[in-house]
Amino acid sequence: MQTDAAILEVHNVTRQFGGLTAVNKVSLSLVPGEIRALIGPNGAGKTSLFNLISGVLPCSSGQIRFKGEDITHLPSYRRFKLGMGRSFQIVNLFADLTVEENVRIAVQAALKRTTHPFEWIDHKAVLQRMQDVLAQFNWIKDAQAKAGSLNYAEQKKLETLMALTSNPDLLLLDEPTAGIDEEDIALMIEMIVSSSENRTILLTDHDIRFVMKIADRITVLDQGAIIAEGTPEEIAANPLVDEVYFGGSR
C-alpha cells in the first residue's frame, strides 16, 4: 500500500487508561475509496481507536494524519471540517425530531463542512437534497415519525443514513449492524456500498459475514494490538485470527 496516497495514516498510536493499554502501538493506512473493517473480540480496543481517530479522546502517544495533515492534536470539530464523520456504537439521534428533520440536519452538516459560518445557505437546495435522500430508501415508511418512536433497527439505519448524508470523505461506523436482523443488514450494505464511491469507510462489526461481504480489507485487533491485516480471503484463512477471534472453534 502506498503511504503517500493514504487518506488516513495512524502511526504507532497508543492509548492508556490508567494501567490498561486499550490501544497498543497501532499503525494503519487507508487508501481513498476503500472500505476497511476493524474486527476483534469485545474489549479489543476498536471503539477506543475510533475515539482517537475522531478526536473524542487524545492519544497517549503516536501520530494520526488525515489527508496528509497531522491531526493528532486537533479537536473533533476541526477533524469534521477536514472531512471526517462518524457514528456511535450507541444510537445517537435527535429523538424528539422527525426522521425528516434528522435527515435535514445531516444535509446541513454536509454543507457546513464546506461553507463559511456566515455564508448564505440555499434552503431550497437543502430541502431538495433532504427529499432526495428520503426518497432513495423505501424502508423509511413515515418521514414525519419522531426518531425516538422508531424501533431499534430503524434507528440504527437512520443513524447510518445520517452519517452518510453528512457526506464525509472518511466515515467511521462503529457496529452499524449490532442488534439488527438479516434483512436490515442487507439494507445497511446497500446504503453503505451505494454511497461509498467517493468515500473511505472504516467500520467495526461483530457480524463476520457482513464484514466479509462489505470490506475490501480487514484489520484484526486483539488486546489493543493489530494481529493481522489482509483481504477477507486472507483473514478467513489466517489461523491466528481463527484462534483469537473465533477461539479456534470454527
Binding site for ligand ADP (CB under 6 A): 17, 20, 22, 40, 42-48
**Three cell numbers at 125?**
437546495
Q: C-beta of 176: minimal distance to ligand ADP in Å?
A: 14
Q: How many residues sit close enough to Mg ion to count as binding (CB under 5 A)?
A: 3
The partner in contact with residue 196, picked from Mg ion, ligand ADP, none with C-beta cut-offs of 5 to 8 angstroms by kind, is none
Answer for the pair 189, 158: CB distance below 8 angstroms, yes or no.
Answer: no
Comparison of 6 and 53: residue with beta carbon closer to Mg ion: 53
State the Cα–Cα distance between residues 49 and 53, nearest whole angstrom. Answer: 6
State the Cα–Cα distance between residues 85 and 55, nearest whole angstrom. Answer: 11
The partner in contact with residue 42, picked from Mg ion, ligand ADP, none with C-beta cut-offs of 5 to 8 angstroms by kind, is ligand ADP
Contact map string, positions 71 to 90, toward Mg ion, x by CB under 5 A: ------------------x-
Comparison of 38 and 133: residue with beta carbon closer to ligand ADP: 38
Question: Shortest CA distance to 97 belongs to which of 86, 108, 89?
Answer: 108
Within 10 angstroms of residue 113's Cβ, the number of other Cβ atoms is 16
Q: Which of 29, 47, 219, 238 forms a contact with Mg ion (CB under 5 A)?
A: 47
Exposure string for 142-178, b = 16+ CB within 10 A, e = fewer:
eeeebbeebeebbbbbbbbbbbbbbbbbbbbbbbbbe
Going from the C-alpha of 10 to that of each of 45, 130, 231, the distances in angstroms are: 14, 34, 19
177 binds Mg ion (CB under 5 A): no
The partner in contact with residue 219, picked from ligand ADP, Mg ion, none with C-beta cut-offs of 5 to 8 angstroms by kind, is none
What residue type is 51 in one-letter code?
A: N
Q: C-beta of 43: minimal distance to Mg ion in Å?
A: 8
The partner in contact with residue 17, picked from ligand ADP, Mg ion, none with C-beta cut-offs of 5 to 8 angstroms by kind, is ligand ADP
Comparison of 19 and 117: residue with beta carbon closer to ligand ADP: 19
| Cα-to-chain-centroid distance, residue 152 | 18
Comparison of 20 and 186: residue with beta carbon closer to ligand ADP: 20
List interacting residues with Mg ion (CB under 5 A).
46-47, 89
